Structure 1
Amino acid sequence: MISRRDLLKMTGVVGVGSTALSGYAVAEAFDEHVTSYAFTPPNWTPGLKLRLAVLADLHVCDPWMSLDRLERIVEQTNSLHADAVLLLGDFVVGLRLGAYSGTIDNDAWARVLAKLKAPYGVHAILGNHDWWQSAEVQRLRQGPPPAAQALTAVGIPVYQNTAVRFEKDGRAFWIAGLGDQWAFRPTGDDRDEIVPARLANLPYTGVDDLPATMAAIKDDAPVILMVHEPDIFPEISKRVSLTLAGHTHGGQVRIFGYAPVVPSIYGPRYAYGHIVEDGRHLIVSGGLGCSSLPVRFGSPPEIVIADLGGSDGGEV
């Protein structure tokens, strides 16, 4: 656990609101919990039971997401005995948060994540901060970014518009991963983050290719699709049983369940939780780390567990 001395230091750095409120918001940023969902998604094979552990938006840095804290998250995730672990991107910290923190070498955090264990593997996609970390990647407008290289080096596959088929108890399923939708900032923009209210007016360039991702799926087995930003969800067909996203941090600050600022062109529509539209299912994780100021209020960091095929009971 974080020490009282460090907590007081961080509260002083944040400097927002009253001392008590800002202290609570900083403390909440370190209070990980498990959020569980249990349901049978559409296009699901009868008898297939699948437990997925989802980690999103780690934003590794000192002291907010230290290697020690990451070790604890890995241990907690392993204790949940998931069939597969899905990592939804934004492994690295943003430059704006970097003003309040120290960076951690990519190889170091990747070695910790390599301790994740699941019988059907650990699977990753990248987020916008992973692409934005490298000025050279931004200048050349091509990858792979350092985070992808670090993950691949420790044996964690990084999906970019592709899919892999698995079988459990003789029943097949696909895990697919979409390339990031905000991979490249507008040319000439050297800021790490943009005010979310202006997002719809900025020409981000992605490396996402949804048609190519779906073309990689060669049969009618259920599809689990990993995306970083949930904004792609209206374009995803009913062929996909479940889409999993991160990026929003659940708004990071939620007041009576409402997030006033969400980094999405759809505002709060896809801010958080289990969302069903036109029979299509999306789970948006609140994530684990922080961007901008290292605070969370009403949106604590979470490990998501999705138990699929064993219940029709919805969220538990």
Structure 2
Amino acid sequence: MKQLSRRQFLKGAAGASILGFLATSCGYGYARYIEPRMIDTVSLTIQDAQLPASFDQFKIAQFSDVHLSDTFAAKNLEAIVQKINAASPDLIVFTGDLVDFQASSEEHEKAKAYLNKLHAPFGKLAIYGNHDYGPFGVELYEKTMEACGFTLCKNDVFLLEKDHAHIQIASLDDLMMSVPDYDLIKREVSTDLFTLLLVHEPDAALELKTTPINLQLSGHTHGGQVQLPFYGPILTAPYGRTYVEGIYGSDQHRIYVNRGLGTTRLPLRFLAKPELTFFTLTSRV
């Protein structure tokens, strides 16, 4: 009979404890109805000498993993949109998974009324998450985001200009449901320009270790959605097991993993609050 290691035993014991807690009416009520509504606003300054002076104090708003469903209905986007617009970002990015498997196509229509109200002078960008490829087909996601003024990006590298200076925006298609073109990113990304990479699954960074990405923005993991005290996530998502939440890396390749707004599979969050993230880029030392 195979013996459990001490780490496995402690993980199992902690998991049993927290599941027991969540099974109680109090614990379940918190994880089901309270924490999923406790939106954490995260503000970070990203300092990078490669950033052009004209982009100093450039602000980016990131939201991710809405997962429209009974748990996160389209009407919940109203408060999100208000918070983003109140911050006056220069650029807004959505890092995938607008829909969830349980969502109805009507929720897409309702979401348009709110997503249309997002404004940023340098535009709104969106990438594809694994849930955006089903169950209704990727065409519905594309029509929704395009109708709301988002530029859909996948397997692309292009320039963003401000006062005759440029930064690069790169994007990869979803790792789970499509084909990310790593070779294009490795080939087209210039080492002379500050590069922002948008990709739903954060572990894409493992394939781009030698590619100069100044800042990668991802989602997908929900921060584990349910975490254990002193341990972390009980379960992690495919392509989200190395980078789970928050900031990682260095100047060569910074990665930020947003915990997202909605839930999937289980309508619960515990020690993994939903979040909006605001980045201020600076070239100052």
TM-score range, shorter chain: 0.7 to 0.9
Aligned position for 1:130: 132
Query: 1:74–1:311: structure 2 CA closer, same or farther, 3 Å change rule?
Result: farther
Aligned position for 1:171: 165
Map Cα deviations across residues 171-210 of structure 1 (whole Å, 9 max, x no partner): 3112222111111xxxxxxxxxxxxxxxxxxxxxx32112
The answer as to 2:145 corresponding to 1:151 is yes
Decide whether the 8 Å contact of 1:42 with 1:280 is kept in 2.
Answer: no
Query: What amino acid is the match of 2:172?
Result: L
Query: 1:41–1:208: structure 2 CA closer, same or farther, 3 Å change rule?
Result: same
Aligned position for 2:268: 295
TM-score (norm 2): 0.83
SS of 1:270's partner is coil
Structure 2, unpaired ranges of 5+ = 1-20
Decide whether the 8 Å contact of 2:221 with 2:240 is kept in 1.
Answer: no
Query: What amino acid is the match of 1:296?
Result: R
Aligned position for 1:259: 233
Query: 1:234–1:299: structure 2 CA closer, same or farther, 3 Å change rule?
Result: same
Decide whether the 8 Å contact of 1:43 with 1:239 is kept in 2.
Answer: no
Aligned position for 1:230: 202
Equivalent runs, 1:60-209 vs 2, <5 Å: 60-62=68-70, 64-94=71-101, 98=102, 104-134=106-136, 137=137, 144-183=138-177, 206-209=178-181
CA distance in 1, matches of 2:41, 2:30: 19
Query: 1:241–1:277: structure 2 CA closer, same or farther, 3 Å change rule?
Result: closer
Query: What amino acid is the match of 2:234?
Result: P
Deviation of 1:70 after TM superposition, in Å, equals 0.6
Aligned position for 2:60: 52
Deviation of 1:266 after TM superposition, in Å, equals 6.1
Bigger strand fraction: 2
Decide whether the 8 Å contact of 1:175 with 1:224 is kept in 2.
Answer: yes
SS of 1:145's partner is helix
Deviation of 1:169 after TM superposition, in Å, equals 3.6
CA distance in 1, matches of 2:191, 2:113: 35
CA distance in 2, matches of 1:109, 1:266: 27
Aligned position for 1:243: 216
SS of 2:273's partner is coil
Query: 1:219–1:270: structure 2 CA closer, same or farther, 3 Å change rule?
Result: closer
RMSD: 2.4
CA distance in 2, matches of 1:271, 1:47: 32
Aligned position for 1:210: 182
Overall identity of the aligned pairs, in %: 28
CA distance in 2, matches of 1:159, 1:112: 21
TM-score (norm 1): 0.76
Aligned position for 1:36: 43
The answer as to 2:23 corresponding to 1:17 is yes
Structure 1, unpaired ranges of 5+ = 1-14, 138-143, 184-205
